[in-house]
Amino acid sequence: MGSIGKSFALILILIMAVSSVIMVKTAFAQSIPAPSVPEFTVKFVDASYNVTPSSSINPYTGQNVTNEGYHVENRTIELIIKNQPFASYISNGQNISFYFNVREKGHYEENWTTIYTVDNYYTSESNTDYTTLTYLLDQNDPPFWNNIPSGGQVDFQVEAMIGYVSRTVGFASWYFAGQESGWSNTQTLTIPETSSSPNPTPTVPEFPAIALVILPLLLSMFAVAVILRHRKTAQLE
């Protein structure tokens, strides 16, 4: 009975300690200013390129080596968020900072996927007028896992946050204390159709149109000069 009583008392003390931490955290968070709902745009950037075939000399054998051409996919999605006036400061021993969180989903699904989490670090506001977030579309990385087909549509929302990230004493779990703006309006991005060539061939440059006019003219002038020179030589003989 004594062991049960001690266990119950320990649990009660633990609950009271956690409750006091939550109350202090809530009261402190209320003193932090609330950010505005962020404004942002989203765009698709295709920086893919072809590497043309080339040849080189093997430095060890002296043989000519042919390097096959190939195509490099480099497609990204960029979120450009308008920053809000804010300067970080220290309060109650905590560094109060400005963060952004982002979530995305397929245009035809209901559930959102949050890109950043409290234990995976929110993204901080940059020191310029805009914060640009770039996500690789062709690598097996979150949040897209290379599963958005050409012509697919992706929805995005952004949230602004002012506060700090810390850990709960005893539980070692992460938490955010501060103010959140709420999620922005939805921006939808359509992934355009892309054409890739795995074995590109170098293109042959075309002559400009003006060259087609100048070249016959030069040939005509050269022919006239040859004829005149021939006549002059004949007269001297």
Q: Are 91 and 17 contained in the same domain?
A: no
pLDDT digits (tens, 9 = 90+) for 68-107: 999 988 889 999 999 999 999 999 889 999 999 999 999 9
Q: How many domains does the chain have?
A: 2
Task: Give the pTM.
Answer: 0.67
Answer with the residue of higher pLDDT: 202 or 187: 187
Looking at the structure, tell me whether residues 110 and 1 fall in a common domain: no
Q: Which of 167, 190, 213 is at the close of a domain?
A: 190
In a domain, 65, yes or no: yes
Query: Does the residue 200 lie in any domain?
Result: no
The phi-psi region of residue 186 (left if phi > 0; otherwise alpha if psi is between -120 and 50; otherwise beta) is: beta
Question: Do 48 and 157 fall into the same domain?
Answer: yes
In a domain, 74, yes or no: yes
84 and 119 belong to one structural domain: yes
Is 210 a member of any domain?
A: no
Q: How far apart are CA 219 and CA 225, in angstroms?
A: 10
In terms of domains, do 111 and 6 share one?
no
pLDDT of 120: 78
The more confidently predicted of residues 59 and 144 is 59
Q: Determine the longest span between alpha carbons in the chain, in angstroms.
A: 140
Domain that residue 5 falls in: 1-30
Query: Which among 2, 27, 34 has a CA at the least distance from the CA of 98?
Result: 34
Do 143 and 47 lie in one domain? The reply is: yes
Is residue 226 situated within a structural domain? no
